[in-house]
A = this chain, B = another copy of it.
Amino acid sequence: MTHSEENYLKVIYHLSVVSPRGVNTNAIAGMIESKASSVTDMVKKLAEKELILYQKYQGVTLTEKGLLAAKMIVRKHRLWEVFLVEKLDFTWDEVHDVAEELEHIKSEKLINKLDAFLGFPTEDPHGDPIPNAKGEIKKIDKQLLSDLETGQKGICVGVKDSASSFLQYLDKQQIALGSKIEIIGKETFDMSLTIIVDGKEMIISNKIANNLFVKLAT
């Protein structure tokens, strides 16, 4: 598989979560930063290889084969992210682009040895699950901070958006994976939240709350 094919497969995999009945050509083009016509071409090739099901005008879905291949790419991406943060001291906002390149290195031995070297991590630095060598993914019990009610408490376990500006904002506010968050109040006008993060009170916008995953704590 070429780098380009792998990128398409990965994008289709991510979009499938939101559009399980078929991923649109334009949606793929948006993610790959290419044009719809290019997507049509590539999608035909992937269908030819039986990695996806494609019906003209109806979008695409992954086959079993394509799903596994996509998971293996995601696995590589996330394991490399762990490596970069844990071993090379990258910050969580710096890892994406490099991992985007590293995910295309073709060696099963490499990735499985790396997995072992890292201690078989189940989540990447952003809290996203890492598929194991068989493609199995440990479901993580999490919900958006914006869905909690006033008075509820949670532990930060992930981010929905990994844009570096967002991650840097979190660093600045000292919000990290593992932080204890309690909702003190909700502003009905803009849905901004007053929260206590590890004992420190602050106000965050709805957009922030809508991109932070927490695990409910008692």
A53 to chain B, nearest CB (A): 31
Q: Is the CB of A113 within 8 A of B89?
A: yes
Is A101 close to B, CB under 8 A?
yes
- Complex Cα distance, B107 from A95, in Å, reads 11
**A101 touching B105 by the CB < 8 A rule?**
yes
Question: Do residues A101 and B90 form an inter-chain contact, with CB atoms below 8 A?
Answer: no
Name the B residues within 8 Å of A102 (CB-CB): 105
A107 to B84, CA, bound (A): 12
Residues of B within 8 A of A107 (CB): 97-98, 101
A98 — which chain B residues lie within 8 A by C-beta? 105, 107, 109-110
* Option from B84, B94, B101, B117 in Cβ contact (under 8 Å) with A88: B117
The answer to whether the Cβ of A114 comes within 8 Å of any Cβ in the partner chain is: yes
- Looking at the complex, which one of B88, B105, B114 makes contact with A114 (CB distance below 8 Å)? B88
- In the complex, the answer to whether A110 meets B87 with C-beta atoms within 8 Å is no
A 93-128 to B, binary, CB cutoff 8 A, 1 in contact else 0: 010011001100111011001100100000000000
Q: How far is the CA of A94 from the CA of B87 in the complex (A)?
A: 23
Report A5 CB to chain B, min CB distance, Å. 16
List B contacts of A84 (CB < 8 A): 110
Q: Chain A, 139-160, contact with B by CB distance < 8 Å: what is the 0/1 string?
A: 0000000000000000000000
Identify the A interface with B (CB < 8 A).
84, 87-90, 94, 97-98, 101-102, 105-107, 109-110, 113-114, 117
